[in-house]
Amino acid sequence: MWSVARRPRWIGMLLLALALAAVFAGLSQWQLSRSIQNGTVVHRNTETVEQLTAIERPGRGVIDKLDGQLIWATGHWAAADTMVISDRLNDGDRGYWVLAHFVVDRPGAADAGLPVALGWTRTQAEAKQALSDLTLPTGEVRVSGRYNAGEAPQDSDFTHGKVSTVSAAALINTWKTVDPGGMYGGYVVSADPASGLTAIYSPIPTTDVEVNWLNIFYAAEWIVFAGFAIFLWYRLVRDAWEREEEEKREAAEFADLVSPRTEVN
């Protein structure tokens, strides 16, 4: 077959196929660059402190544009509902959070519950000591920090008193204080740690980039076309070779039929 492929005709066809493949590859590269240029950078102004009651309501999941938003809220503490949350990373270090129940004052509506992480410790003993020494102020207070999406309920050790996730669905069933207005779907990492606790690392959320997937699909299409151009040349060469081989076999069979066989005595 390769003897057929080396003929001038098929070498010329190969050069044409390679030229087409190069054009298709260039179009693919162009589409990829377009997908990056047309990518939408999602900028969220998370660092402007917003009033929680103005941007969020209880009883729903946290939408993407609110995840990581700096907020403030007024209300009072439900002192009976403090707890330790285990297995919490703080800038790469594993440790414990002290979590408290904040009741948000909602003008014109029933008060709602909000989990607030007050700080971090490296060991469980330190967390328990900070919890026992914790004295939450009474009366109306203001909290501020970064509002994060709530986590899924844990599937182990919950009944043994070990809590490792901040889940509104789980906390609402364990807190002693009932919030008439329900509970917010997220939680707040307090900007000011409580006494005996380390501030929780809460960086600015990363900026998202929405890629133009249609351009990426077109880029993949052009690569397929480039490969098909080379395959088409191969298929044409093979077909030509198979036709020649078939003609040779037919010619040999015809020669056998018309030529008498010579017997050797």
Q: What SS3 class is residue 93?
A: strand
Same domain, 106 and 202: yes
Query: Whole-angstrom Cα distance, residue 147 to residue 48?
Result: 12
Q: Does the residue 43 lie in any domain? A: no
Long-range pairs of 52-58 with CB within 8 A, sequence gap ≥ 24:
52/104, 52/114, 52/147, 52/184, 53/104, 53/105, 53/106, 53/107, 56/147, 56/184, 56/186, 58/112, 58/113, 58/179, 58/181, 58/182, 58/183, 58/184, 58/185
Q: Which domain holds residue 97?
A: 50-209
Q: How many domains in the chain? A: 2
Same domain, 158 and 223: no
Same domain, 134 and 21: no
Q: Does the residue 131 lie in any domain? A: yes
Same domain, 149 and 248: no
**CB-CB contact of 215 with 32 (8 Å):** yes
The residue among 175, 191, 209 that closes a domain is 209
Same domain, 115 and 151: yes
Q: Does the residue 42 lie in any domain? A: no
pLDDT per position in the chain (265 positions), as tens?
778 888 888 888 889 989 999 998 998 888 877 776 665 556 678 999 999 999 999 999 999 889 999 999 999 999 999 999 999 999 999 999 999 999 999 999 999 999 999 999 999 999 999 999 999 999 999 999 999 999 988 765 555 668 899 998 889 888 999 999 999 999 999 999 999 999 999 999 876 666 677 778 888 888 999 999 999 999 999 888 888 888 888 888 778 777 765 554 4
Same domain, 184 and 225: no
Same domain, 130 and 26: no
Same domain, 55 and 145: yes
